[in-house]
Structure 1
Amino acid sequence: MIGLCLGLSGVVWAHLELSEFTLAWNHTIEKIRWEEDYRVSEQGLILGEARVKGNGAGMEIPEGARLENGSWRYHRELPPLQPLKLGRTPQAGDYQLCHAGVCQPMAHWLGPPSAQQPAVELWSCPL
């Protein structure tokens, strides 16, 4: 079975038994929520739909996005991400991982963001 691993440089800090999830965060300056839906595959993480509540500094609404229920929804064609690299610092706040309608901050599995460990990677891995 394939699941989601969280860690850095191939070292697993946590693994989650799931096949899809939403990665969510608030823009550090504009405080606008972003969400990206991913499917976990053997090739990596496959980005599905993405949503953003608005635009601002460095966050333009992509061409072809449609406004629906207060969010701009769009799709980007990317190859599978293996790994997906994320910056994670106390100043920026934490990401949330959402699955089956429940969202948890990454701190739930990894502890709070820290200046000593300012990044995390997500990748598909066998459980």
Structure 2
Amino acid sequence: MMDLGVCLALALSAQTLSPVFEPVERFTLAWTHSIEKVRWEEDYAVERRDGKPVLLALKARVRGSAAGMEPPDDAVLRGGWYEYQPQTWSPKGLRLTRSAYTADYEWCVNGQCQPMANLLPSDGDITLLTPCTRPASGPATQ
């Protein structure tokens, strides 16, 4: 049983509701830009460092470019995707804006994707994604 993963919580209720624990060591977040209709994907890993869970940004890619969303200068075009290393190597967590007016994020593990709403329904605001360990019986440990 994997005890390392990510915790998902709705920002507005993060203090009152227990986060949802997803056991995972590698995952991809994917979405389609609401205006430009361009697909983005970001690969992450969760590792233990000095005994604590850490989120690592591994690679990102965007399917083309559009106004205001140009890939960084170091991006390489491969098979129609601009691939690059995100500048934030080890974010403490992600603040994912989820709106009822746009398609939800896709949560991908081992090449299988599903809407993030299958893991945690959106309240139309911010979802917090943080590296954590499986809770024993109380809240997850970050």
Report the TM-score, using the length of structure 1 for normalisation: 0.88
Query: Root-mean-square deviation (CA), in Å?
Result: 1.6
Asked whether 1:68 is paired with 2:83, we answer no
Provide the residue aligned with 1:92 in structure 2: 102
Structure 1 gap segments, 5+ residues each: none
Structure number with greater Rg is 2
Kept after mapping to 2: 8 A contact 1:5/1:125: yes
Kept after mapping to 1: 8 A contact 2:72/2:84: yes
Provide the residue aligned with 1:119 in structure 2: 126
Report the TM-score, using the length of structure 2 for normalisation: 0.80
Q: Aligned match of 2:33 in 27, 34, 43? A: 27
Provide the residue aligned with 2:58 in structure 1: 48
**SS of the residue 1:110 aligns to:** coil
Please give the alpha-carbon distance, in whole angstroms, between the structure 2 residues aligned to 1:12 and 1:66: 40
Structure 2 gap segments, 5+ residues each: 135-142
Kept after mapping to 2: 8 A contact 1:13/1:110: no
Asked whether 1:16 is paired with 2:22, we answer yes
Q: Aligned match of 1:2 in 1, 4, 19? A: 4
Provide the residue aligned with 1:103 in structure 2: 113
**SS of the residue 2:19 aligns to:** strand
State how many pairs are aligned.
Answer: 124
Letter in 2 for 1:54: G
Distance apart, 1:122 and its partner CA:
0.5
